Structure 1
Amino acid sequence: MERAQLYTLLFCFAVQNTTGYQLITTDANRIKDLEKIALDLQTQVKQLMRQQRAQNIKMERMEALTKYCEKMCKRVETEENDLVVNENLTNKLMPDFSKSDVLNSTQNVHQRRKRIALNSRIDMQQKPLVNAIVDEVAFYAYMSENLQDPGHGQALVFQTAVTNVGNQYNHHNGVFTAPDQGVYVFTWTIVVTANGYIYTQIFVNSDVLGAMYTSAYGVDNARTTTAIVVKHLDTMDVVSIRVNMHGALSGSIMSNEYYKSSFSGWKIF
């Protein structure tokens, strides 16, 4: 009888464990589905923001062109008014002025108008109508203190922004946002403690762009590595540095008065 009771208890325990495992697996699958939905929504939002940004740039250019045309029209109108005033003064002060002289004066005025129009076209070709595209973008930031025992998949934040031209780097979350499309350069430096090692990656949105391995395994002092990437970005693309989700990981990231773990980037064109 005791053996039968024991078998019954073991059977019940096995059933409970199986049910609990199934519940955990179901919850994990639900979490993955929600993460996928969130990522899809984030991608859609970024696309809408890019379209809005492009539309705003077009509107700014049209407004600038309209203002420029209005300015040139006023300039031509002023020249014509000056011509009328000069002709009236000439008729009053010199009524016997020869026709040939009047014709020459008129031709000079027309030539002057042509020169003004030519110079205006040259100005439009040489100078941008509006500085809608942000060309000056650059940042350099480093961790303000050591990062103890970072975890797999952890986003790395470089809190101290020494340079942030364009204000596109967020020192609160470590993310850079591209203000406009173009070719950008990014570089990051990681320092690990003695006997430590870590894999890091650079992401553009949710895609891995580059990776780096920093190792001080078997040595008694810190080690430093730096990686660099070049990428064409679209408007509102985001760039960040994270710890590899699956790579070997041990020790801490150093950043102090002797070492600086840092993140930098700038736009080429």
Structure 2
Amino acid sequence: MIMIVTLFSALAVTLPGLGSSSPNIETILNSAMAEVTIDPKQEYECLLYRLEDKLDRLEGRMKKLDDQLDPDKSEGPSGTTGDQYAFSAYISDTYVSGRTNGGLKFSSVISNVGEAYNEHTGVFTSKADGVYVFNYQGVTYSYSKSCYLTLFHNNATVVSSYSYAAYGRLTFGNSAVIEMNKEDVVHVAITGSSSCYLYGGVLSTFNGYKI
């Protein structure tokens, strides 16, 4: 509209006789200006709609970015792992000989989704509140008269398993479903045993995952 007004003014200045010599031209220009004139109310509503649409898009992008930066808000497997946590590991040594007590290090990792299991300490640390499933098993060998294996949540006993045989070579273990808070820890240890001999390798394992 501004451009048309400017054009009309320029014509009026440069051609002062235009109106008198051609009375129909002024009428045609006025008619054309009326056709392209935008109702201010409609123009405002159109602008408001566009601003609201851009604001909605911006809010959506900000929420997506916030979810990506905060792993606890991540939407499952859409990211790298989301809030999925799972691991499986076994004892690297061929034998665990004559241990009476202490934590076991399942230092050979098969999988560690979410990187919550520490193969150097044998400890799983929860990175998110939730319900987790854990299981472990061991295989005794000769000279292992008795052996206790215990699953600990923080410092509390959850479940234990026991093996006794004069000639060893028994498979034993246990499992548990634990409701955990963020930063809680779980590990397996030999407890209350006078002579616990275990086969290592894939025979003695520790596994866990978040439901």
Give the TM-score band, short-chain normalised. 0.5 to 0.7
Q: Which deviates more, 109-118 or 205-214?
A: 109-118
- In structure 2, the partner of 1:252 is 197
Q: Return closer, same or farther for 1:93/1:229 CA change in 2, 3 Å cut-off.
A: farther
Higher helix share: 1
Higher strand share: 2
**Bigger CA radius of gyration:** 2
Aligned length: 171
- In structure 1, the partner of 2:205 is 262
Within 5 Å, which residues of 2 pair with 1:126-145? 129=67, 130-133=69-72, 135-144=83-92, 145=94
Within 5 Å, which residues of 2 pair with 1:107-186? 107-120=45-58, 129=67, 130-133=69-72, 135-144=83-92, 145-151=94-100, 153-186=101-134
Question: 1:204 and 2:168 equivalent?
Answer: no
- In structure 2, the partner of 1:74 is none
Q: 1:13-69 CA distances to partner (integer Å, 9 max, x unpaired)?
A: xxxxxxxxxxxxxxxxxxxxxxxxxxxxxxxxxxxxxxxxxxxxxxxxxxxxxxxxx
Give distance in 1, aligned partners of 2:90 and 2:61.
43
Are the aligned partners of 2:148 and 2:196 in contact in 1 as well (CA < 8 Å)?
no
Shift of 1:250: 4.3
Give distance in 1, aligned partners of 2:57 and 2:88.
42
Are the aligned partners of 1:194 and 1:223 in contact in 2 as well (CA < 8 Å)?
no
Shift of 1:237: 2.0
Q: 1:199-221 CA distances to partner (integer Å, 9 max, x unpaired)?
A: 21111221111112234x26x67
Give distance in 1, aligned partners of 2:59 and 2:185.
39
Q: Which runs of 5+ in 2 are unaligned?
A: 7-32, 73-81
Question: 1:223 and 2:170 equivalent?
Answer: yes
Superposition RMSD in Å? 3.0
Percent identity for Structure 1 against Structure 2: 24
TM-score by length of 1: 0.53
Shift of 1:251: 5.1
Q: Which runs of 5+ in 1 are unaligned?
A: 1-89
TM-score by length of 2: 0.66
Q: 1:174-201 CA distances to partner (integer Å, 9 max, x unpaired)?
A: 1222233332221111111257442211
Please tell me the residue identity of whatever aligns with 1:91.
Answer: I
Are the aligned partners of 2:89 and 2:206 in contact in 1 as well (CA < 8 Å)?
yes
